Amino acid sequence: MALATAAVSLHPFLSRPASVLRVGLRLPPLLLRATSSTSASASPDFNITFAEPAPSKKAPSAQPLVPWIVRGEDGKPRLSTSPPPDVLQAIALAEAEAKKAAKKETLKGPKGAVAAAAAAAASNASVKARKNAPTAPPKFSKAARRFYNENIKEREPQRLAKVLAAAGVASRRTSEELIFEGKVTVNGSVCTSPQTKVDISKDSIYVNGNRISKKLPPKLYFAVNKPKGYICSCGEDSKSVVSLFNDYLKGWNKIQPGLPKPRLFTVGRLDVATSGLIIVTNDGEFAQKLAHPSSNVTKEYVVTIDGAVHKKHLIAISEGTKIDGVMCIPDLVEPLDAQSDTRKTRLKIVVHEGRNHEVRELVQNAGLQVYALKRVRIGRFRLPADLGIGKFVELKQADIKALEGNK
């Protein structure tokens, strides 16, 4: 009878769902005492009853504390409830990798295109922010960086015709003709394409049986006070502007031992009757940039007029004239102090087109005769007053920048 009563009283627990039993409720102390008493004596009159269990509260989802054996500052091992720093770092890295992998999986979904576009926009914004951020001062001087770029930095392969011109073989056009004629070999094979990419420091290049040096001459820039009667030609004419450098090039091996001689040429042209400032270099890209009309670099001339100049002449010059079908208008026309000979008048004319015989055409279109023409300025660089006729001076970096800028 007592066992039946106990079974009936236990029925509420057995009829509860499994989730309630899994919570791990402890039996009331009364039940424990009653059970032990029942096992000790079989008194059928002992009435076993259970109190209603208290409503269960969900246990917090806290991770169990795992003891860690770490080495303390004294060098002895001890127990710790927190992982060592290296374990924490490994966990953080693993979580970061998991986030990256989840992000990649998200981009593969149907909304991946939108997410990718947003990521690209964020990346572009960060790039723009870095560009607009103030830059730190350069670590090395300009001279050190130029030396590194010219002597140490690996050069990218360039077109064969350009390499031959830079090596001083000939002009780029003449170099192309040599290539077309089959007079150039690259690594033992005849090359007939000027567009072939070569590296002069690695490839073996021969022209007419002569090997090209693996070193290129340095970039040179000179300002020359051109005399009247000299032509702007790269030939071996005794009256060419380049011939003024003959003595300089004869002593090249003493100045730059081990380097090939540079092939010098003029930047633009001054006609045979014009004197004054002209630039001589071996840098083709610089020459093309400075001489092209699209650069809009201003050039100042002093024109000596045979006869008197009146206001109508100045107006006619200022209005401009057509040269090769293009309307050329000067930037400035200004009379200068008259010379001691009253039959001669000087004018200052500034132009930026740089077309052939431009200043002479402007003056002659106004009904005047040019007695002498001299160029005194290019950009912001002015012909040095102490530079004699037929003399030259090597330009510094500040002078080169002045050539490319205007007032």
Residues designated catalytic:
271
How far apart (Å, rounded) are the C-alpha atoms in residues 23 and 355?
A: 98
Q: What are phi and psi of 135, to 5 degrees?
A: -85, 145
Provide the token pair at 172. 């780029």
Which of 48, 2, 3, 56 lies closest to 26, judged by CA?
56
How far apart (Å, rounded) are the C-alpha atoms in residues 331 and 70?
A: 84
Greatest CA separation found in the chain?
Answer: 154
Tell how strand 197-198 and strand 158-159 pair up: antiparallel
Enumerate the β-bridge partners of residue 351. Answer: 299
DSSP state, residue 231 = B
Enumerate the β-bridge partners of residue 370. Answer: 305
Per the CB < 8 A criterion, the answer to whether 196 and 185 are in contact is no
- Could you give the 3-state DSSP secondary structure of residue 319? helix
The secondary structure element, H or E, covering residue 372 is strand 370-378
How far apart (Å, rounded) are the C-alpha atoms in residues 261 and 253?
A: 8
How far apart (Å, rounded) are the C-alpha atoms in residues 65 and 172?
A: 80
Question: What type of residue is 141?
Answer: S
Q: What are phi and psi of 122, to 5 degrees?
A: -65, -40
